[in-house]
A and B are shown apart, each in its own frame.
Chain A
Amino acid sequence: MSRLALRVLGAVFVLWAVVTLTFFGTQAIPGDPAEAVLGGPGSRSTAAQLAQIRAQYGFDRPLWVRYLDELRHLAQGDLGVSYALKTPVTTLVGQTIGATLTLAGLSLVVAWAVAVVVAVAATRESRIGAALASLLEITAVAVPHFWLGSMLILVFSVGLGWLPPISTPGVAGLVLPVLSLALPLAGFLGQLMRESFLAALDAPFTLSARARGESETRVRLVHALRHAALPAISLSGWAFGSLISGAVVVEALFARPGLGRTLLSAVLAGDAPVITGVVLVVATVYLVLTVVTEAADRLADPRLRSASGQRAGAPAW
């Protein structure tokens, strides 16, 4: 019980810190917020207009007052109203978060699927095969999302005309964005899994499984795979974060509405409430996810459940 309370407290602290950092971060962005409200410095806004906005939004109050004010509002679940779009941030986020979570979620799943296949197919026997696999993985990791995305568009939309290059409500519109997000991650997870998978195949317990007469498939799927998955599972929270990063790029490329795009335009327009809102939401999602990941971790690795608490009993291989 008290552990739960502690966890919640920790989460609250993290969110507070995130808000604080973002708040002062946005303050540091050059440019006059009042002008941002009036449609950017490009607007031919008059002194009177600016003054009026400053008063209306309270930009003229001292920094710390606004900070506390911000905290109060956030505490009440009020993310404020976008300077540029004049819509409540909650609405903006509400409209876009689904799309982004779907994108990131699916990408995570696909990445996992690919990584698992790569891992299970791995062998020590053919060194060329291994080298090739690892080269592919490294390459996948090193390919920028937007570049991969453009390539996919070129081939599957323009070339073969199979899939729409810009997002559509349906599943078809998701394929390319998901792929361009998932493949780099798959490369990363693949590396991770393949190594621990091969390690597991060398482990004594797989040998004794074989000695028991268990089939190769059983050895790989029932024994080795689970071990191989462990590190990847613990990293999934982080992976999701990197997917959100990628989403900023991919959403712009495939013209998908989403948190990433919201943030990008907000940053460009110096739209502080939106920036804070999006960052806050993403952080929250991340926190939730870490909890889930830990749960999954414990599920996959009973040792974490046992008294000792960490992978104490883990064999030395």
Chain B
Amino acid sequence: MPQSTTPETVLDVRDLRIGFADADVVSGVSFTLQRGQCLALVGESGSGKSVTARALLGLAGPRSRVRAQRLHVLGQDVLRLSGRALRAMRGRDVGLVLQDALVALDPLRPVGREIAAALRGIPARRRRQRVWELLAAAGVPQPQRRAAQRADELSGGLRQRALIASAIALNPPVLIADEPTTALDTTVQDQILQLLLGLKQAGTGLLLISHDLAVIGRVADTVAVMRDGAIVEHGPARDVLATPTHPYTRQLLAAVPADRPRGTRLSDRPGPPADAVPRPLNDVALLSAAALTKRYALPDGSHHLAVDDVSFTLHRGRTLGLVGESGSGKTTTARIVLGLTRPDTGEVRLDGQPWSTLPESRRRPIRPRIGAIYQDPLGSFDPRMTVEEILADAASLGHSTRPAGYRKEIMGLLDAVGLPAATAGRRPARLSGGQRQRVAIARALAPRPDVLICDEPVSALDVLVQAQILDLLDDLQREFGLGYLFISHDLGVVRHVSDDVAVMTNGRIVEAGPTEQVLTAPSHPYTRRLLAAAPRLAGASARKELLP
């Protein structure tokens, strides 16, 4: 890094340290950012990315200690600015797009008002006009209409864009975007990235925060990899992503499932020898859905066709990936298959026997054959139960929650999902996201099911953790010959895990077939759009030698 900072430099951070009550969460971070450039902060959850970003606006948080040799924004020392000056700077010099846009806008006020609030110095009458311009600029269709709606009336993508609009309201020379694309459908994600690229070209200095390397690969000029509050690798995006020097970076890269053939390992966790259990090729139809439809009555009297004539077959030991954007009916389908929602028409059969048509009393005895994993594992655990109680309950088929009798099974399950025995006594709320999902999987395995329904099982997880879970699921499938219905909006993930895919939109399955066929030679336009939007890492070839 050059000692002198050219006028082009908008951010200049040297040895930034941020501490909260007890410990430092950011220790010695340094970087600079020039106009029209994009610096990406990568790193696992909790590594200190957001705090760093917030510190740049003097918003590190209450009772936070921020120290730095230098913390300059457009040449002004943030640490020395008065409260008033800081407020003046925010929004004017630096725009911040907060993490999780879904809750970053006041749910009680129209987004238009939220954006207008940022428009200082612009006469009131001109504001509305300006708000519409901004929304349009952020790629929001029908800005007039959207401006009048509240955040919770907008889709995730629209919220994210509205948030960006409010951040660029005074077109600041610096824009900080914290996880702007997480939890968004690939198509939407693509649009957001386009928007950011546009801003960058327009000369905005962009500080992009993400844990999704693929995303970064498309936008960033320089990458700083953060871990435990420190930058472990820093350099031009191309080099860092193609030839990472730091093992942690390698790990991150290896974990990206996109473009990784089925069966290749994402984590460094050793699996069983590939030949241990041969992938069954026999096509035993384990679970079949025929012409499922489900319509929901909306409060306004109209109907919403959540699932529309959906049919598919799931084979023993194989994975059917169900991909589609939010609201396309994936979860509803899953719920029907699980016998939680009755289809209006159509039927689900298990081993050719009736399933969805059975009365609950008759279905109950065979329920253990179909397990489920959810996007939000925490919510699926009784908050009063410890891990071992949860597992005892599952292992005993509900006869008891007392671990005493089931020690062996519990330990077996914990081991199978790679959790230390120590977790047995703890409550899920005290576990990390990855550990929770493992517990959920263990619980699902306990009754020795034939089918696992996985609804967005990794969407809420870090790349690294996601990698481990995906590998785990793969191992288990081989071990027990499980059939998976794997639901996700992430093409990369689906592609990596499934033998067959079904692409879903507006409640219908528009295309289905063997994964490679569907995803390399898509026939349906929607699938094509999906693929085009999916970000990929440049130089896939370069990653071969990363694998140990």
Which residues of A come within 8 Å of B, CB atoms?
124-125, 203-205, 207-215, 218, 222-223, 226-227, 300-303, 306-309, 312-317
Contact = CB atoms under 8 A, between A and B. Distances in A.
A227 B107 CA distance: 9
Interface in B85-112: 87-92, 95-96, 98-100, 102-109
A200 to B, nearest CB: 9
Nearest to B119: A212
B87 A204 contact: no
Given A208-B98, A213-B91, A227 B108 contact: yes
A306 B152 contact: yes
Interface of B: 54, 57, 59, 62-63, 87-92, 95-96, 98-100, 102-109, 114, 117-118, 120, 150-153, 163, 166-167, 169, 298-300
A205 B151 CA distance: 11
Given A218-B117, A303-B152, A315 B57 contact: no
Given A213-B90, A213-B91, A303-B152, A207 B120 contact: no
A218 B106 CA distance: 13
Given A208-B166, A303-B150, A307-B299, A213 B107 contact: no
Contact of A205 (B63, B90, B96, B105): B105
9 contacts: A204-B100, A205-B106, A205-B107, A212-B90, A213-B118, A302-B150, A303-B152, A306-B150, A314-B107
A43 B117 CA distance: 74
Contacts of A300: 108
A212 B63 CA distance: 21
A203 B120 CA distance: 23
Contacts of B152: 303, 306, 312-314
Residue picked from B99, B103, B163, most chain A C-beta under 10 Å = B103
Contacts of B88: 213
A300 B118 CA distance: 22
Contact of B96 (A208, A218, A303): A208
Contact of A212 (B54, B91, B109): B91
Nearest to A125: B62
A213 B54 CA distance: 13
A207 B152 CA distance: 18
Contact of B104 (A125, A205, A218): A205
Contacts of B100: 204
A209 B298 contact: no
A232 to B, nearest CB: 15
A301 B163 contact: no
A303 B150 CA distance: 8
Contacts of B104: 204-205, 207-208
A3 B310 CA distance: 36
A214 B298 contact: no
Residue picked from A205, A303, A317, most chain B C-beta under 10 Å = A205
Given A124-B62, A227-B108, A213 B103 contact: no
Contact of A204 (B99, B169, B298, B299): B99
B87 A215 contact: yes
7 pairs of A and B residues whose beta carbons are closest in the complex: A313-B152, A213-B91, A213-B90, A211-B96, A315-B103, A212-B118, A205-B106
Contacts of B109: 223
Contacts of A218: 117
Nearest to A317: B103
B160 to A, nearest CB: 12
Contacts of A227: 108
Nearest to B53: A211
Contacts of A313: 107, 151-153
Contact of A211 (B63, B90, B106): B90
B106 A213 contact: no
B108 A303 contact: yes
Contacts of B151: 205, 313
A29 B183 CA distance: 65
Contacts of A309: 299
A308 B107 CA distance: 14
A308 B153 CA distance: 10
Given A227-B108, A306-B152, A205 B89 contact: no
Contacts of A307: 298-300
B81 to A, nearest CB: 12
Residue picked from A209, A212, A303, most chain B C-beta under 10 Å = A212
B329 to A, nearest CB: 18
Nearest to B62: A124
Contacts of A306: 150, 152-153
A207 B99 CA distance: 10
Nearest to B172: A213
Contacts of A314: 107, 152
A143 to B, nearest CB: 33
A303 B107 contact: yes
Contacts of A213: 87-92, 118, 120
Given A218-B117, A303-B150, A313-B152, A210 B107 contact: no
Contacts of A223: 106, 109
A124 B62 CA distance: 8
Given A205-B151, A212-B114, A212-B166, 5 more contacts: A211-B95, A211-B167, A212-B91, A313-B107, A315-B107
Contacts of A211: 54, 57, 59, 90-91, 95-96, 98, 167
Contacts of B96: 208, 211
Contacts of B89: 213
Nearest to B169: A212
A315 B102 contact: yes
Nearest to A314: B107
Contacts of B54: 207, 211
Contacts of A203: 103
A209 B99 contact: no
Residue picked from B90, B100, B104, most chain A C-beta under 10 Å = B104
B58 to A, nearest CB: 9
B99 to A, nearest CB: 7
Nearest to B154: A313
Contact of A207 (B59, B108, B117): B59
A215 B150 CA distance: 22
A210 to B, nearest CB: 6
A207 B96 CA distance: 10
B109 to A, nearest CB: 8
Contacts of B166: 208, 212
